[in-house]
Structure 1
Amino acid sequence: MARQSPRPQGNRTVEPSAEFDVEFRGVAKRYGDVTAVSGIDLQLKRGAFIALLGPSGCGKTTCLRMIGGFEQPSDGDLLIAGQSMRGVPAYRRPVNMVFQHYALFPHFDVETNVAYGLRQIRPRLDDKEIRRRAAEALDMVHLGKFAKRRIHELSGGQQQRVALARAIVNRPRVLLLDEPLAALDKKLRIAMQLELQNLHRELGITFLLVTHDQEEALSMSDQVCVMNTGRIVQLSSPQDIYDNPASLFVADFVGKTNRLDAVVEHQGGSVAARFGNGLVLPLTRPDVAIGKAVVAIRPEAIALQPATPASTGLVGDVTHRIFLGSSVEYSVAVAGLGDLLVFADRALQGGAASLYEPGARVELTISPAAPHVFSHDAA
């Protein structure tokens, strides 16, 4: 690829970046008195698969639309491949987008839908090259035999693949995915998650996925960028986001968690969390602040066993059981703490023998390494 020429920006020149495909530099976006995005600094490495994850209204789609050129930043700058995109229209940016509802042309067949973007290129490509590249894109998404089908003759998953083929046929530098799997049923979503991962590896281009579905974000991406109220609250690997949430919001939003009020205090040479029912739980995590706190405990970090008259630990009563096949979700009422959510892996618990009926008395065990402790004021 030929080296891009530096692009003037104000009184300075920005050199094209070989490392980052997309950069947000202090980007803010306002709509009148409403601030949708505030002070975003973010760098997307070339060839990465990044997920923007957060609740509705957190600013993730606004960020995607600014990259695509459908919105312009109110403040700051946005660069693609080292070049400022300020004032650059959507059709001149090296990006393509797959929309949530696909936006396919119903009166065109599959091949014509995929080739549409190629026919807008100037100088114009010849028909043979257009057909070749459209066929190549369709083969990538396993729809080579469907080129002459009408859109209404395709299933939802096939239509989603047509939208993907249309997005990649122009060989964009960045592929933007705006909740592309939201309209699919669960089984098809899982299959398409694998397809997108395979496509990412095959193409080697940067993928940016916007979703509010934590399972999609964690299973598909290299890095997850969690957003809330227009800001980035944590950017890390999927495993780190789940295992080491930076805030109570992240712990709550990514996965399920039990929130318990406690007081963190010194206990000998270590620290422990004291709960309202008198339970004292030793803590092994470093840098835990002394004082009022909110303790977050993942449901799978709590072990269950039948309670006995001799049980002196944390004891409660099963109030609800949700059978999930390979695992079971329990709600356990504990005096002074309320209802705790517990996940039990049936393979580790002995299959059907591990099922507890509502009303069963159980003993709960929490590892000292399991709790995440957050300042009560920050919560």
Structure 2
Amino acid sequence: MASASTNDIEFCSVTKNYGAVTAVTDINLNVPKGAFLALLGPSGCGKTTCLRMIGGFEQPSEGKVLIDGREMNGVPAYRRPVNMVFQHYALFPHFNVEQNVAYGLKQMRPRIEAAEINRRVGEALEMVRLGGFAKRRIHEMSGGQQQRVALARAIVNRPSVLLLDEPLAALDKKLRSAMQIELQTLQRELGITFVLVTHDQEEALSMADVVCVMSAGQIRQLGTPQEVYDRPADLFVADFVGKTNRIHAQMEADGTTLRLADGSAVASSRRLAPGEAIAAVRPEAIHLSRDKVSSGVSFRGTVTHRIFLGSSAEYAVTVPGLGDFLITADRRGANESDLVEPGEEVFMGFDPAAIHVFPASNA
């Protein structure tokens, strides 16, 4: 009987132990059908363990994993409606492109007719824009082309879920950016659920429509890329997803006034219990000027370093009593003379609404 579940993947109180080591602790996660989910976090956070439990390469120690409403505990990988693209592609070097893509279809039982295999292989290669490469040997392909062969091999079986284990890690920056767009396009065309494991924040934010930030085997935040970046749930997320400046402060008795280390006061948009707090501000939310900033929060400091990035520039600015700040300044419409030089005194300011405030114990 067909499942009525609106989720392709569900984790119900899932824990995974490797002996005395707990890799994942009490994870609850629902992935809607057709979503592009990124599991994002540092090495050892549990994201790859979650991916492997979806794929059937690992079994949960506690809890249940469901795909399309059906429990998968104990179901081997080859019986799941899932395919996986590995980081190093795992292509057969002695097969040509066509043979690599057709391999999985030829293992299926009952057997598929040769004409149907050829049709589906051709269709998969067209989807990944390799229609004229069927007879090409693997060693004759570039890294990006090999990655697309691995994708074609994964989608030719028409899985409900496609798992991607850091598939772009081996590519150079320019090719990686191009493949990010191709993967997004392919996911929309296929309409199936993609689950991407990555430690690259930019990759997760640019490709996925749902981001799951993990740390120490637990989910720290689940949301859209914009929600995770603009409204981080805690200081770990604010630090890990993108860049942020930390300002040590004291929340006063009213629960809304932040008293900074230099004695200045800033109104907080988030109420917090009185005590030590951390104010987090994104580098691009800070305005840099040679003239005094007339509105918002303003400080005077000295530029210590500058990194030129073409369309923008990053500055390290030291503010007496507050420490060092990283500031990203957009250079669109500016000219070379607008660049501030190391050693210059500057004013920096930001809107109090740009501050994210967390308890110091959250650090």
Query: TM (normalized to structure 1)?
Result: 0.92
| Equivalent residue number for residue 308 of structure 2 | 323
Give the distance between the partners of 2:202 and 2:340, measured in 1 at CA.
Answer: 27
Aligned counterpart for 2:357 among listed residues 373, 376, 379: 373
> Higher mean Cα deviation, 257-266 or 84-93?
257-266
Give the alignment of 1:125-274 within 5 angstroms: 125-265=112-252, 271-274=256-259
The number of equivalent residue pairs is 361
| Equivalent residue number for residue 8 of structure 1 | none
Aligned partners of 1:307 and 1:315 also within 8 Å: no
Alpha-carbon displacement from aligned partner over 1:311-338 (angstroms, at most 9, x marks no partner): x941111000001111100000111111
Give the distance between the partners of 1:271 and 1:353, measured in 2 at CA.
Answer: 40
Give the distance between the partners of 2:42 and 2:298, measured in 1 at CA.
Answer: 37
| Equivalent residue number for residue 300 of structure 1 | 284
Deviation at 1:272, TM superposition (A): 2.4
Specify the SS of the correspondent of 2:321.
Answer: coil
Residue identity opposite 2:335 in structure 1:
G
CA gap 1:79/1:313 in 2 versus in 1, 3 angstroms: closer
Alpha-carbon displacement from aligned partner over 1:90-136 (angstroms, at most 9, x marks no partner): 00000000000000000000000000000011110111111110010
Aligned partners of 1:307 and 1:361 also within 8 Å: no
Aligned counterpart for 1:286 among listed residues 260, 270, 279: 270
Deviation at 1:366, TM superposition (A): 1.6
Segments of 5+ residues of structure 2 without an aligned counterpart are none
Residue identity opposite 1:252 in structure 2:
D
Residue identity opposite 1:122 in structure 2:
R
Deviation at 1:266, TM superposition (A): 5.3
| Identity between Structure 1 and Structure 2 (%) | 65
Aligned partners of 2:256 and 2:271 also within 8 Å: no
Say whether 1:276 aligns with 2:261.
Answer: yes
Give the distance between the partners of 2:351 and 2:134, measured in 1 at CA.
Answer: 56
Segments of 5+ residues of structure 1 without an aligned counterpart are 5-15
Residue identity opposite 1:302 in structure 2:
I
Specify the SS of the correspondent of 1:144.
Answer: coil
Residue identity opposite 1:367 in structure 2:
D
Give the distance between the partners of 2:335 and 2:231, measured in 1 at CA.
Answer: 30
Give the distance between the partners of 1:152 and 1:83, measured in 2 at CA.
Answer: 40
Specify the SS of the correspondent of 1:116.
Answer: helix
Aligned counterpart for 1:123 among listed residues 99, 105, 110: 110
Deviation at 1:347, TM superposition (A): 1.6
Moved over 4 A (4+): none
Say whether 1:344 aligns with 2:320.
Answer: no
Specify the SS of the correspondent of 1:146.
Answer: coil
Give the distance between the partners of 1:288 and 1:137, measured in 2 at CA.
Answer: 54
Deviation at 1:281, TM superposition (A): 2.0
Deviation at 1:307, TM superposition (A): 4.7
Alpha-carbon displacement from aligned partner over 1:238-276 (angstroms, at most 9, x marks no partner): 001000000000000000001111012257xx8322111
> Higher mean Cα deviation, 270-279 or 156-165?
270-279
Residue identity opposite 1:202 in structure 2:
E
Give the distance between the partners of 1:378 and 1:197, measured in 2 at CA.
Answer: 35
CA gap 1:353/1:266 in 2 versus in 1, 3 angstroms: farther
| Equivalent residue number for residue 299 of structure 2 | 314
Q: CA RMSD in A?
A: 1.6
Alpha-carbon displacement from aligned partner over 1:50-72 (angstroms, at most 9, x marks no partner): 10000000000000000100000
Residue identity opposite 1:271 in structure 2:
T
Alpha-carbon displacement from aligned partner over 1:146-168 (angstroms, at most 9, x marks no partner): 11001000000000000000000
Give the distance between the partners of 1:271 and 1:87, measured in 2 at CA.
Answer: 51
